[in-house]
Amino acid sequence: MRKPLTALLPLCAALVWASALSGQSLRPGTWTGTLAPPDGPPAAVTFQVAGTGDSISITMAVPDMGVAPFSQLRVVSGKLTFQWQAGDKLVKCELTKQENGSYKGSCVDDDNKAQTIEMIPPSKP
């Protein structure tokens, strides 16, 4: 009796691992959202998300400020972490996936100033 159960363990582990990986992708396309700096009102921003799996790239466009590519991107267990350069400051972010598929969280710069950011995915085709 033990042998069949033991034989199923690797299969169960593989299924759990595959389902965990499947949730680690972001929908490619133009995402919208907001960036709320510590000393001002929220600004509407767009995010260009490209690639899948381990090859994700994101560039944020902020009106009147330009674009900022994200680096050190990680999507693991409903958390999106990345960093970007704001002038001479390095900004590190951690966002949590929301029930509606968006990501929301905070970013902290070298001076420990916090800002909030929200990324809303494009509509499904």
Give the start-to-end residue ranges of the domains of the chain.
Answer: 24-120
Written as six digits, the tokens of 119 are 């990324």
Q: Supply the pLDDT for residue 16.
A: 34
* pLDDT at position 90: 96
CA distance to 65, 78, 79, per residue, from 12 (Å): 49, 21, 24
Q: Is the overall model pTM greater than 0.85, yes or no?
A: no
Q: What is the pLDDT of residue 23?
A: 46
Splitting the chain (125 residues) into consecutive groups of 10 residues, what average pLDDT does each group show? 41 33 73 92 95 87 91 94 94 97 96 95 87
Tokens, residue 2? 């033990």
pLDDT at site 19: 35
Query: What residues contact 117, with CB distance under 8 A and at least 6 apart?
Result: 33, 34, 35, 36, 45, 93, 95, 104, 105, 106, 107
Q: What per-residue confidence (pLDDT) applies to 24?
A: 58
Domain 24-120 classification at class level: mainly beta
Q: What was the pLDDT predicted at 92?
A: 97
